[in-house]
Amino acid sequence: MDWDALSAVGTTAGSLITAITVILAYKQYRLSVTSKLKINIKIEQTVRNNELPVDFIRFDFINRGMIDFCIKEIAIKENGRYYPIQSFFHIDPDSGAKKFPFTVTNKFSVSASISKFELEHFMDIMEINEKNTQKLQFVITDGKGKEYKKRILI
């Protein structure tokens, strides 16, 4: 039995395991440093007690990283002006958040919705979307001042 060959195999295996450990440690470090907030916007209908259906615009905030996010404001942006609308939102109580500003952790996603009727009424009062464009731009601002822009077809 050649002990040099056996020690070469052992050394190679040890080096390979060390390299894999270093790569995994680096990926975990990057995961804790990077912030990833995913925002989904959907239009949903609900019917209550055989009434007419009501349209809602639902925002789902999902944290894909390790850093918690604080959502401070949701606004409509048109012609360079911001119109805050977070006071019209209803936050899902199952998500743990109750009102703005709320925190999105990596364990719980937060859902907030606004009635399409309330939004259109607010837009009429503030004279937003006078050109009747079908797309509306929402700007979500987090606690650090970073803006996330989403367009939705209404």
Whether residues 72 and 99 fall in one domain? yes
- Looking at residue 19, its pLDDT comes to 93
The answer to whether the CB of 110 falls within 8 A of the CB of 92 is yes
**CATH number of the domain encompassing residue 127:** 2.60.40
Whether residues 41 and 73 fall in one domain? yes
Q: Is the pLDDT of residue 140 over 70?
A: yes
Whether residues 87 and 140 fall in one domain? yes
- Looking at residue 139, its pLDDT comes to 92
Whether residues 66 and 39 fall in one domain? yes
Range of the domain at 135: 35-153
Whether residues 2 and 66 fall in one domain? no
Whether residues 121 and 107 fall in one domain? yes
Whether residues 20 and 40 fall in one domain? no
What is the tens place of the pLDDT at every residue in 13-56? 899 999 999 999 888 887 766 678 889 998 888 777 677 888 88
CA distance 102 to 34: 20
What is the tens place of the pLDDT at every residue in 42-54? 888 877 767 788 8
Predicted TM-score of the model (pTM):
0.71
Compute and round to an integer the Cα radius of gyration of the chain: 24
Please state whether 79 falls in left (phi above 0), alpha (psi between -120 and 50) or beta.
left
CA atoms within 13 A on the CB side of 123: 21
3-class DSSP state of 32: helix
Q: To 10 degrees, the CA torsion angle through 35, 40, 88, 133?
A: 120
What is the tens place of the pLDDT at every residue in 81-115? 888 988 888 888 777 777 878 888 888 888 888 88
